[in-house]
Structure 1
Amino acid sequence: MLRRVFAFVAGFAACVTFSQAAVTRVEVAERVDLPVNGYERIAGKVYFAVDPKLPANRSIVDIDLAPRNAAGLVEFSADLLILRPKDAAKSNATAFLEIANRGSSPFWGALNLGAARGMPGKQDMGDHFMLDQGFTLVWVGWQSDVTGANNVKLYAPVLAGVTGKVRTEILVNQKATSDALPYAPASVPSGSLTMRDKADGQRIAIPNDQWKLNGDRLEFAAGFEPGKLYDFVYTAKDPTVAGLGMAAVRDYISYIKQRGEVKRAIGAGISQSGRLLRTFIADGFNGDEQGKKVFDGVWAHVAGGGHGDFNQRFAQAGRTSGQFSGVDFPTDLPPFHPDELLAKSAKAGVAPKLLLSNGSHEYWGRAAGLNHVSEDGKRDVAPSGDVRVYYVAGTQHSSGGGTNPQVQNPTNPMDWSFFQRAMVVAMNKWVTDGTAPPASVFPRIDKDQMVVASAVRFPKIPGVNVVQTAYAPRRLDMGQEPPKVGDPFPALVPQVNTDGNETSGIQLPELRYPLATYMGWNLRNPSIGSPTEQYPLTGSMVAFPRTRAEREKSGDPRLSIEERYKDQQEYLGKIEAAARELAKQRFLLESDVPQVVARAKQRWEQLAAK
């Protein structure tokens, strides 16, 4: 049974009064000791009551329609997970709040090497990197349609009886005859179903007698074809007040800072979660109800130039946009540039230090160039002040590799983890003692490092089809469904060398001394339809020929591995030197260099061994 608690740490400040904070109570469901570093794991729920009349809450869509308690406040709750040192003296006094990605944690497995992906359990700590740093790790539910027993969820008020038009896009990789709807249909089912071959293709109407609604599912007897885009527009009912998810994040961090449990807070998110943080800042949520700063630092990783469907009526927070699908959802709209993101918080005096990190895929598939390119695509716009923009060349959306039968090339195995660990240390020093991270690193137009997709000089590698277009977000008028579409924003991508590898940005050792061509894009396998379109969030690796004889036989224009490196020893020596150079620049940790070399040795044995 849940029990009510008012302090997590003995000896910390007394509970703030409810008039001073939107958190009304915290209930603990489970509290267990972890096997390392004297940490404990606390799981439960946090309850909120916010004043809809306060300026800090006026940007929350539909808060004026939400039910209110006797005091005129809007109540809601969220799942809560905390990992923290039991002994406050062992804490670094910084809260690291990861914005959950669809309720889960991509950062946990990435930062704590060897840990399983997903929310941290009670035993699997990996190499417990984050615990060694002394962070108080926090996850607060912010998304109300999350599923999964171990994930964190928001419990937002439902606006019973409210109806409106909703569009859902359906893309399948194997034929299917039904698909789930994001919201329940209104009592009188109605709608329209269309199909198109590509993102900007003509929508072809499917007769109403060929589909039907069955509860919260759309059934299509003829079947949804792989590689086709279907849009279903219908009247839905009972939305939630989705924007309260950002209030939950804001108010819980404000609560623990006011109580003295931590002195500082970093908000971090990967992909969807990073897009939420961009929206959080742009919409002015970094000031709490009393106007105090919430996050001292914010790190949005692989969020591209995007925002998300996070604070709208009938929000679909899980939606993302890319070169092929999701292009007509309000995911990638201004503001793009970091100074514009920070405008509201800067005016209020609560701007956080901001770190935006992206890789190759985000330029091809998530419009990352809009972070530092003018909206006409003609000039560079460098960030100013307490902002860092980093581009890590040759990477896909997340650390990966291996095979995927739904794409044309082997996936990109370039590992982000060691860069991410260095960014954690850099960000904490930045907010703790003001030590600035390395200067921004991104591809520039004025140095011919950023070009349109058709100008990329990709080599003609036998058997490799080349991507033709990059994702260009479109100007949207969301007054109707589907929205009215305007001109696209510019889509610029990094230039490559004669190997097909990107030449600018932060060069990880395996790209500096490559055994393959590493791309941020991959194409859909013909078996799932639309083979000229990008497969979402996935890159490619195309190994170099092992020998000169193999190269000449295949007609591959790239030098073979034996023509580049005398042997494994020489190769690993170069990798180690490159890693130590990055460590001096603070893009890697010196303590991680041996592991970087070990990973490179594995890659050599995979690609170069004869």
Structure 2
Amino acid sequence: MVRTRRPAALAALLLGTALGLAVPAQARVTRIVIDARTTVTGQALAYEQIRGRAFGELDPADAKNAVVTDIALGVSADGKLRYEVPFSLTKPVDLSAASGFLWHDVPNRGGNVALGVVERGLGDIGLVSGWQADNAGSTVIPADRATGTNFWAAVPMARQGGQLVTGKVLGRIINQSGVASQPLVVSRASSPIPYLPASLDTTQATLTIIDKETVDGKVTVGGTVPSGDWAFARCDAANPFPGTPIDIDPAKLPSNLPVHVCVKGGFQAGKLYQVVYTGTNAYVLGAGLAAFRDVGSFFRYAQADDAGTPNPIASAVKGSAVRGVSQSGNMIRQLIYLGMNQDEANRRVYDGAWPQIAGRRVSANSRFALPDGTLELYQMGSEGAQWWVDWADTARGLPTRGIFTRCSASNTCPKVFEHFGSSEVYALKMTTEWVGTGADVDIPVTRNVRRYYVGSTTHGGGGGGFVHLPATTTGASCPGNNYGRGTLLANPVPLTQLINVLRLAMRDWVLQDKAPPPSRYPTLIGGTLVEPTQAAMGFPSGVPGIPASTFLPENFVWPVFDYDWGSGFNHADATGVPTQVPPTIKKVIPMRVPKVDADGNELGGVPTVLTMAPLGTYLGWNIGAAGFFAGQVCNYVGGYVPFARTRAERQQTGDPRPSLEERYVNHAGYVAAVREAARKAFEQGFLLAADRDSLVQAAEDSTVLK
């Protein structure tokens, strides 16, 4: 339930805000501490950075906080849940020179986000604050909090009757071999599973060997390791099984992470080991999301904290936007879905929101959730509505909802940019947002949402440039849990130029209500969004390095799974307590992908110079080279298959794609193609003039067909 405001109360609130008066006390940021001030160079205007910490409290009785899982199990004696988060403010020294625009950047896995020189040149203010509360990897809380450089959220662990709650936790060890123990990680070595076993007794846990998993969720079990043949321990050749038991004292977190598993005889290469155990130290993760909301609200609206410490940017903010990339963009979508663009004084926190390369909602508000997850098998993130408007989820039988459902009721929805690349389609299950779980109709976007799809790109975009044959012939490194390498080269198509456009467009939309470029993405009705088969896509046969088996359902396009996490889990909100771990797969949701042209490059997206004047086929997917994932889509990384230089070269390999010489004749012809592509992108509003000119110059300076 979302509170609504009576007209009289709303008028009083607006009057108080206009006069700069303090808002009556709410559960909120109550205190800030300034730890350091440093000078920021690189721009004409004098800038400084302020590093500090914010302390606040949440009231479980407030309907806007009730959505936080286990909030009542994390309260102090007075019934309030308390948190602490670090923040960083980058601002003009003289606030009278500030533009009035505030960017609130969401850290990705605890990392820093620097306010760019472009924003500083415009006089903008940058705010970064912690939100991820699982105290693992880069979100670890430093011993000396005043000198830490990462961003985290310190929240309580859930307790009942004074004791830590427990529950089932799943970990996976993939593609490892040898006698050494292996850590339990979420998606990569720097992201350990943050939950300790409640006991070292392996009879209370299971360790299963998986021989094979297909992309569409079919699992071949190879057996179960006897409880006496493995241990929660560290071991190596000098200290063999059973090794040294790990320390499971929650008071010693996170120094006793990651959790290690030691197997008698060692791990078999090319296998997956899946451990299910009873975990402890369940953080009240959703409190970190609420803390992020409160920090954003404080620096936008407050004059000072409860002790009188001034807000360093008081009265300087005219408009604001929250932005985040990948995991951080998913966090923004979850924040809005949970109604947290409304603060506890019923004000809109952010005027704009910019989730980048993010097509789901982060898993950060259920018991034992894994915010570092990347949608590998049995990881949360696609539960419930991923679309903006109210829409029926008929395939999963969930209520009609959208990301905007709660904020629409309170009139606090922001203006939204979302931009995606191709890897989000093939590995991060993004197109369900466009066509729903039925995958049979284009879900509309509202007038305050703009959607931009940059086709044929890798996750986060490539390095750009006009290089036909890169110096390295090594396949791209596949992200995630030990995927290894892909068979195809790294995809160079960048997102940089679109980001440069949208950065300015968001400011103009918020501050001046100037309309941004229209949405541009593939659609069913436009014929550019199709079934994920080679025939439907129109992908050419015979492209070197891409066998037809790539497009089989067991190898191609990670689908959304309709998981059953048990009756204690709210499958619409992705809140509550999952009791069925691993979950059963009730249904595989059909996916859609962009149609491609005769070269295999995607149609229907934002114009980009490198795909309009291509040097090869640019892919949002790659192919696993070896091990457990051999032959499958190699997680969320793209690929590149260069064209042959001459007709004779391509005929030798049977390449169906015209060669560079057949397309452009010579270097001058290629530069002319780049110039024309840049002109079109600029005229359509997707390229700045400076970027247009620099791209043409880069093409002239390149060695293509020289």
Answer whether TM exceeds 0.5 for this pair.
yes
- Compute the displacement of 1:384 (Å): 2.1
Amino acid at match of 2:658: L
Moved more, 219-228 or 35-44: 219-228
**CA deviation string 1:420-448 (max 9, x = no partner):** 12111111111111112122111111232
**1:515, 1:217 → 2: CA distance?**
46
Q: Which of the residues 55, 80, 104 maps onto 1:73? A: 80
**2:368, 2:271 → 1: CA distance?**
24
Amino acid at match of 2:232: L
Q: Which of the residues 381, 400, 406 maps onto 1:344? A: 406
User: Is 1:585 paired with 2:700?
Assistant: no
- Compute the displacement of 1:17 (Å): 6.6
* C-alpha distance 477-384 of structure 1, shift in aligned 2 (>3 A): same
The equivalent of 1:168 in structure 2 is 171
Q: How does 1:9-408 map onto structure 2 within 5 Å?
A: 16=22, 19-20=25-26, 22-35=28-41, 36=43, 37-68=45-76, 70=78, 72-105=79-112, 119-120=113-114, 128-144=117-133, 145-148=135-138, 150-159=149-158, 161-172=164-175, 177-180=181-184, 181-187=193-199, 189=201, 190-196=204-210, 197-198=212-213, 199-203=217-221, 204-214=223-233, 215=246, 216-259=259-302, 260-304=315-359, 306-321=360-375, 326-339=376-389, 340-400=402-462, 403=474, 404=476, 406-408=485-487
Does the 8 Å contact 2:538/2:596 carry over to 1? Answer: yes
Amino acid at match of 2:156: P
Amino acid at match of 1:162: V
* C-alpha distance 227-151 of structure 1, shift in aligned 2 (>3 A): farther
**1:599, 1:224 → 2: CA distance?**
49
Does the 8 Å contact 1:98/1:139 carry over to 2? Answer: yes
- Compute the displacement of 1:179 (Å): 1.2
**2:641, 2:207 → 1: CA distance?**
40
User: Is 1:462 paired with 2:544?
Assistant: yes
**1:167, 1:450 → 2: CA distance?**
35
**1:446, 1:220 → 2: CA distance?**
53
* C-alpha distance 174-441 of structure 1, shift in aligned 2 (>3 A): farther
- Compute the displacement of 1:16 (Å): 4.3
- Compute the displacement of 1:22 (Å): 0.7
Does the 8 Å contact 2:461/2:496 carry over to 1? Answer: yes
- Compute the displacement of 1:473 (Å): 0.7
User: Is 1:549 paired with 2:648?
Assistant: yes
- Compute the displacement of 1:412 (Å): 0.4
* Structure of larger gyration radius: 2
- Compute the displacement of 1:379 (Å): 1.8
Does the 8 Å contact 2:176/2:271 carry over to 1? Answer: no
**2:137, 2:523 → 1: CA distance?**
41
Moved more, 52-61 or 454-463: 454-463
Secondary structure of 2:181's aligned partner: strand
Does the 8 Å contact 2:99/2:122 carry over to 1? Answer: yes
Q: Which of the residues 491, 507, 517 maps onto 2:591? A: 491
Does the 8 Å contact 1:286/1:351 carry over to 2? Answer: yes
Secondary structure of 1:510's aligned partner: helix
* C-alpha distance 557-286 of structure 1, shift in aligned 2 (>3 A): same
Secondary structure of 1:231's aligned partner: strand
**CA deviation string 1:213-252 (max 9, x = no partner):** 1323222244444553332111111211100111121111
**1:574, 1:497 → 2: CA distance?**
17
Amino acid at match of 2:197: P
Does the 8 Å contact 2:27/2:59 carry over to 1? Answer: no
- Compute the displacement of 1:296 (Å): 0.9
Q: Which of the residues 473, 482, 486 maps onto 2:560? A: 473
Count of matched residue pairs: 571
- Compute the displacement of 1:576 (Å): 2.8
* C-alpha distance 63-598 of structure 1, shift in aligned 2 (>3 A): farther
The TM-score, its normalising length taken from structure 1, stands at: 0.89
- Compute the displacement of 1:18 (Å): 7.6
- Compute the displacement of 1:328 (Å): 1.7
Secondary structure of 1:155's aligned partner: coil
* C-alpha distance 18-177 of structure 1, shift in aligned 2 (>3 A): farther
Q: Which of the residues 489, 492, 507 maps onto 1:410? A: 489
**2:689, 2:649 → 1: CA distance?**
37
List structure 1 segments (4+ residues) > 6 angstroms apart after TM superposition: 12-15
Secondary structure of 2:431's aligned partner: helix
**1:436, 1:256 → 2: CA distance?**
27
* C-alpha distance 450-550 of structure 1, shift in aligned 2 (>3 A): same
**2:317, 2:26 → 1: CA distance?**
17
- Compute the displacement of 1:594 (Å): 2.7
- Compute the displacement of 1:505 (Å): 1.0
- Compute the displacement of 1:20 (Å): 4.2
Amino acid at match of 1:182: P
In structure 1, stretches of 5+ residues that fail to align are 1-11, 106-118
Moved more, 192-201 or 479-488: 192-201
The TM-score, its normalising length taken from structure 2, stands at: 0.77
**CA deviation string 1:23-77 (max 9, x = no partner):** 111112210111133111111211111212111100011110113254x321110
